[in-house]
Amino acid sequence: MGSSQKASLFSDLADIPLDPHYALKESFRADTHPDKVILGSGLYRDDDSQPWVLPSVEKAEKIGKKTEDSGRYEYLPISGLESFVSAARTVLFGPLDGKENRVVSLQTVSGTGANFLGAQFLAKTLKPSAVWLSNPSWVNHANIWGLAGINVKTYPYWDAKNKRLDFERMISKLETAAPGDVVLLHACAHNPTGVDPTKSQWESVADVCERRGLFPFFDCAYQGFASGDLAEDAWAVRHFLKRDTLEMAVAQSFSKNMGLYGERVGALHLLCGTAKAAMKARGHLSRFQRGQVSQPPRAGARLAATILSDPELFQDWLLDLRKMSGRVEKMRKALYDELIALRTPGQWDHIVSQIGMFSYTGLTPEQVASIQENSHVYLLKSGRISVAGLNSRNVVYVAHAFDAAVRKHPF
């Protein structure tokens, strides 16, 4: 820049704070305390607090090396690796029973990319007056839909007083949504609360969507990781599919359930009312995909396709899922048992009734600050923890940290 130019064209931009999840990581890295613990990251860790490469993934990697060819770095089609897209669709929906030509599926840059592609597509095509997000929701949801230019509204979800799903108020609020609005739903292991609707409650949500003419958009980031059962974790999505009264979209991710975090493996699926509409939608989605990434990445999709398509590897993967979900469930129980043994003031049953990687503990911001300052245990201000950050060596320490903070700063 020349010396005569006094300011930047970007000088008037508003300051954007660092995402709270990444800010927490930065604070944790800077802490030199030997007993520090981080419970914020949405990453699975083994009992030694180390990243865990799934054995099924390691086997798929070896198979991939044996079958590598000169085209392994070639561009994929705009819609992605077909063997992956097809297998991912089957894992999510199960048998489509004649609806195959009404489902449009594209490989995306993980679940984030699927959410983004879906938001951009719906903003330009359906032009909804609003998208309805649960309060709270994954922090990136509001960012993604806001960037798409869609008005973001919220429906009640977490009952802070009773530490459960605020279902009655959730349904009541959704009844006020305008026809054509998008309602974003977490297929399983709700992030950040870990609280899911029951099957009968899911049926009621579908009823509201039908009555109000809403467009369901599922975010499915934890299939198989939540309960260890692929079909159980896909129940809500499959219920909406079976009713066949609504068009819908599903953003699917394999970051968590295959541990492919950095490979960014995901898919977007759009169920249309007719095959003709699906064909048109495919063209528009492909145009958006072309404008954003041109073609999705190949390596992670090949790994996922190998696992999903090989019967033996698929069974290995199911064992991996049960191991991960089982360890998380064990850590929930261990934390709960320690808090009960300490007679920590408050109710803690919700820790073991919640599901998946995250738990809304009910801790207040004041208590969270005390835990971080005095015990060097890092969690989000909301009180949400990643249960996967607990292990057999730190769970007692964490429970004592919670107990001390609750006694110092009562509810």
Tokens representing residue 266 in the block: 């995901």
In the chain, DSSP finds a helix count (H) and a strand count (E) of 15, 13
Distance, CA of 106 to CA of 80 (rounded, Å): 6
Active-site option among 59, 163, 173, 256:
256
- In sequence order, the 6+-apart residues with CB closer than 8 A to the CB of 29 are none
Contact 177, 224 (CB under 8 A): no
Distance, CA of 352 to CA of 337 (rounded, Å): 10
Q: Where is 282: in which H helix or E strand?
A: helix 275-292
Is 276 considered catalytic here? no
Tokens representing residue 138 in the block: 């994954």
Active-site option among 166, 219, 316, 403:
219
Tokens representing residue 196 in the block: 């899911």
Distance, CA of 92 to CA of 252 (rounded, Å): 8
One DSSP character per residue, 80-147 reads --HHHHHHHHHHHH---TT-GGGEEEEEEEHHHHHHHHHHHHHHHHT--S-EEEEES--HHHHHHHHH
Is 256 considered catalytic here? yes
Nearest to 230 by CA among 141, 102, 317: 317
- Backbone torsions φ then ψ of 109, nearest 5 degrees: -80, 80
Is 348 considered catalytic here? no
- The residues with which 217 forms a beta bridge, in sequence order, are 184, 249
DSSP code, position 51: B
Cα 140 to Cα 72, 115, 135, 137, 147: the distances in Å are 32, 9, 13, 8, 11
Active-site option among 52, 138, 145, 158:
138
Neighbours of 285 (CB within 10 A): 24
Distance, CA of 150 to CA of 21 (rounded, Å): 24
Residue 136 identity (one-letter amino acid) = P
Contact 329, 359 (CB under 8 A): no
Active-site annotation, residues? 138, 219, 256
